[in-house]
Amino acid sequence: MTDRDVRRRCRALVDSLDIPDPFDIGEFCLQIERRRGRSIRLNPIETAPGTPCGMWVSTAGADYIFHEQGTSPLHQRHIILHEIGHMLFAHRVGPGPGGGLPGLLLPDLDPELIRSMLGRTAYDNTQELEAETFADLMSLVVEQPTEGHPREVRGSPPGQTEVVARIERTLGRPHSPRR
């Protein structure tokens, strides 16, 4: 699958979603719960260096999204959206070596049991690209100012958000460099 195919699939998925305006990650998760008929539980955690900063765990009763708590709210939202991307694309992978992040999150369980329960410890490159592209596109959608709901601009003086938003609309919004 080409990058263009991935972007097209992700754009179609984003376009199919009922995205709250103004955006709220909790309300968005409720929308996804209704769409999928399954509960979503957000779980902030402290991750160790060298481990993933987020993970989606699907159980018989609910979907759990573990995300790094020691980072900015913007980064937390991106991590959660990335994991929701994996969820909505129904990404699955086979078990890998070691306990990894599941072992850190569920230290009292045998690593073999964790691998057999989760059946997922890593994604292939296309799945990661889809999840990351989904999170990037969602971030662009939810950060765009709309009439009546100008995007809050960090560092702008109180009462100047609308002025900054008008300037951005006039000049065109700067884009972040791709990783």
- Average pLDDT of the residues in 87-95: 75
- Average pLDDT of the residues in 62-82: 94
Architecture in CATH of 3-143: Orthogonal Bundle (1.10)
Q: Looking at residue 120, what is its pLDDT?
A: 41
Q: Looking at residue 137, what is its pLDDT?
A: 95
Region(s) of the chain under CATH 1.10.10:
3-143
- Average pLDDT of the residues in 18-27: 94
**Dihedral pair phi/psi, residue 148, rounded to 5°:** 85, -15
User: How many residues comprise the chain?
Assistant: 179
- Average pLDDT of the residues in 32-49: 93
Residues paired with residue 67 on neighbouring β-strands, in sequence order: 44, 54
Q: What share of the chain is helix, strand, coil (3-state, %, to 5)?
A: 45, 10, 40
Q: Which of 154, 152, 171, 170 is nearest to 162 (CA)?
A: 152
**Dihedral pair phi/psi, residue 5, rounded to 5°:** -60, -45
Q: Which residues contact 61 (CB under 8 A, 6 or more apart)?
A: 39
Coil, helix or strand for 116? helix
For residue 149, name the pLDDT band (cuts at 50, 70, 90): very low
Q: Looking at residue 41, what is its pLDDT?
A: 95
pTM for this model (two decimals): 0.68
Number of CB atoms found within 10 A of residue 126's CB: 15
The pLDDT tens digits of the residues spanning 108-124 come to 555 554 544 444 444 55
